[in-house]
Structure 1
Amino acid sequence: MGRTLFAPRPTGPGTMIKLHKHDLPDGLDLGPVVAVDTETMGLNPHRDRLCLVQLSSGDGNAHCVQIVPERLGGRGADCPNLKRLLTDPEQIKLFHFARFDVAILRQALGVEVAPVRCTKIAAKLVRTFTERHGLKDLLRELVGVEISKQQQSSDWGAAELTPEQLAYAASDVLHLHALWDRLEGLLRREGRLELAEACFRFLPARGQLDLLGYDEPDIFDH
């Protein structure tokens, strides 16, 4: 079962946001590049549970999968369609700050997400003239889109998510394709695309290192 709602967009028709309980539906095709983000109860993957995985094919619509633990009447990590997409070697998963997302998805669902692209890493490689690498800033400056972060700290573990929460979650994936297009162009222009791709290939290992406790102190520190 799922529910569909429509949220206003800055221009054009409304965005369709489809909420799916437990897993993606059978046969859903989100194309060769899928924008992905997660919402959790906090930022500690060992302590804080995964609550929502949102995805977009870049068509202006979003699919949100609500992950409910078995102790609360859900299916937990039993989401074969979502896992299949996240691990499909022919399907690029596009994130902003993939380091956290690939770690929490490994911890919660037991999958290694690959191949991966990360707009935050791309921005840091080519936008060295600024410290503003957050999604809100990048979308405003590179894509001309304003998004709200008002629901960022809301209760994502609630049994029923509000339309405002789902609209916020969707906004984190709806524009990633456009942002990546801009950043990929900058990476090519500055001759750093190959370096970025090497960083992206390392991200699943970086997430695993974080889960093993090598985030603090960082294994790459002196």
Structure 2
Amino acid sequence: MNRRSPVSDPDPVLITDSASLAALCARLREEPFVTVDTEFMRERTYWPELCVVQLGSERDVAVVDALAPELDLAPLGELLADPSVLKVFHAARQDVEIFLLRFGDTPRPMFDTQVAAMVAGFGDQASYDSLVRGLAGASIDKAHRFSDWAARPLSPAQIAYAAADVTHLRRVYLALKERLESENRLDWVAEEMGALTTPATYRTDPDTVWERLRPRTNNRRFLAALRAAAAWREREAQRVNVPRQRLVRDESLLEIAATMPQDAAALARARGVSEGFARGKSGAGLIAALAEARELPDDALPELPRERSGPNPSPALVALLKVLLAAKAEEHGVAAKLLANGEELDRLAAGESDGLSVLTGWRRRVFGEDALALRSGRLALGVQGKRVRLIPTGQDPR
């Protein structure tokens, strides 16, 4: 379908009824791509409350009032699932999580301009503001960034602010796409979208959330209590729809796991725990979870974190790998953070190879192969002018 680029952006339209949304989504399903953003509230809830969805194309810019009475969002779900329309986001994780909760699946196919900017050499975490300035030649009015998006009616200023996000995003996407096409890197971005479109990325297992607290102890009974308390907190926060930290803070959870209170009076003595909480339904549930953990047989207790087998990695080799990483990132104009993280460099230096993302796909071609060569002595690093030089040694690792 041939279309002339519009002289100016279309005026934003506020969508509050099902018929208008269905008509909009039908038009957008004829487009090659659509820009998407959301406004939501989460400060007082566990689950994000979707308030506004912004949708943009060459012909349409719409602000969908997701809280409008009796609005049927099903056409939006069908648009997001349409394999013929690319969905363009910036920093997509929170938006995608919301759509997964609402529609049961992630939008696909998808393009995240934050990831694309890292592939295109805009730094480790290019901000949306900087991309809009650099690629769209515009600036973002931040006055409504912290608006109460659940309040109604939406003001004209809020609508304009929300609409501008997807308008600018369209130009940012087109500029990044052109740049990545010229460098043959669109497939790199496509590889990165695999994790973002996988539903498991956004699902939290209550029985493993205790690991995020990184307890420093070898006491497996304590770890069992912490696992039980953290799992209870996650499920209870979901049930009553409050943030987990508002229900029980991390430091309180660690103290409760250490003391394993058996009644409400003992639970109330933990810092940050009120008498009302301890004697209420939530307190009773937490005490019951701890009681179950207390009765676990030894073979059911959590295992201690496994130490890396073999000697610790050489700090000097880790340092060399960091230099190589910086050199390859500079050579290819890609964010070093996207290529490899510190844990992967440590594992490489320790002789590990299995399960490292840096040794798969485009990362292996850009950095992984040379990292393996450096580790085995087949590659050395030198300096030529003002740049790091890679020097094949001809050494046979056998």
**Alignment TM class, shorter chain as reference:** 0.7 to 0.9
Deviation at 1:19, TM superposition (A): 1.0
Match of 1:116 among 110, 116, 119: 110
Query: For 1:117, what is the secondary structure of its paired residue?
Result: strand
Give the whole-Å Cα distance in 1 for the aligned partners of 2:168 and 2:99: 21
Give the whole-Å Cα distance in 1 for the aligned partners of 2:128 and 2:97: 19
Matches within 5 A, 1:1-222: 15-21=10-16, 23=18, 24-28=20-24, 29-30=27-28, 31-42=31-42, 46-59=46-59, 61-68=60-67, 74-75=69-70, 78-128=72-122, 130-131=123-124, 133-205=126-198, 208-212=200-204, 217=212
Q: Deviation digits for residues 111-142 of structure 1, max 9, x if unmatched?
A: 421110111110112225x4561111101011
CA 1:14/1:184 → structure 2, altered by over 3 Å: closer, same or farther?
A: closer
Deviation at 1:38, TM superposition (A): 0.4
Give the whole-Å Cα distance in 2 for the aligned partners of 1:184 and 1:92: 12
Structure 2 counterpart of 1:65, which letter? V
Give the whole-Å Cα distance in 2 for the aligned partners of 1:179 and 1:25: 25
Query: For 1:38, what is the secondary structure of its paired residue?
Result: strand
Give the whole-Å Cα distance in 2 for the aligned partners of 1:194 and 1:13: 31
Deviation at 1:14, TM superposition (A): 7.0
Q: Deviation digits for residues 164-206 of structure 1, max 9, x if unmatched?
A: 111111111012222112112332344432111111233121x
Q: Deviation digits for residues 89-123 of structure 1, max 9, x if unmatched?
A: 11111111112211111113434211101111101
Give the whole-Å Cα distance in 2 for the aligned partners of 1:198 and 1:94: 15
Flag the structure with higher helix content: 2
Native 8 Å contact 1:45 1:107 kept in 2: no
Q: Deviation digits for residues 126-164 of structure 1, max 9, x if unmatched?
A: 225x45611111010112111212211100001211111
Give the whole-Å Cα distance in 2 for the aligned partners of 1:109 and 1:19: 22
Aligned to 2:3: none
Give the whole-Å Cα distance in 2 for the aligned partners of 1:116 and 1:155: 28
Structure 1 counterpart of 2:156, which letter? P
Structure 2 counterpart of 1:209, which letter? T
Query: For 1:25, what is the secondary structure of its paired residue?
Result: helix
Give the whole-Å Cα distance in 1 for the aligned partners of 2:193 and 2:45: 20
> Unaligned stretches of 5+ in structure 2?
1-6, 213-340, 345-398
Flag the structure with higher strand content: 1
Deviation at 1:65, TM superposition (A): 1.2
CA 1:193/1:13 → structure 2, altered by over 3 Å: closer, same or farther?
A: closer
Native 8 Å contact 1:41 1:50 kept in 2: yes
The alignment-based identity, stated in percent, is 32
Structure 2 counterpart of 1:173, which letter? V
Greater relative CO (CA pairs within 8 A, separation 6+): 1
Query: For 1:167, what is the secondary structure of its paired residue?
Result: helix
Question: Which range is displaced more, 176-185 or 152-161?
Answer: 176-185
Give the whole-Å Cα distance in 2 for the aligned partners of 1:152 and 1:80: 27
Structure 1 counterpart of 2:113, which letter? T
> Unaligned stretches of 5+ in structure 1?
1-11
Deviation at 1:35, TM superposition (A): 0.4
Query: For 1:127, what is the secondary structure of its paired residue?
Result: coil
Query: For 2:130, what is the secondary structure of its paired residue?
Result: helix
Larger Rg: 2
Native 8 Å contact 2:16 2:64 kept in 1: yes
Give the whole-Å Cα distance in 1 for the aligned partners of 2:105 and 2:93: 14
Native 8 Å contact 1:18 1:63 kept in 2: yes
Structure 2 counterpart of 1:63, which letter? A
* TM norm structure 1: 0.78
Give the whole-Å Cα distance in 1 for the aligned partners of 2:194 and 2:15: 30
Structure 1 counterpart of 2:66, which letter? I
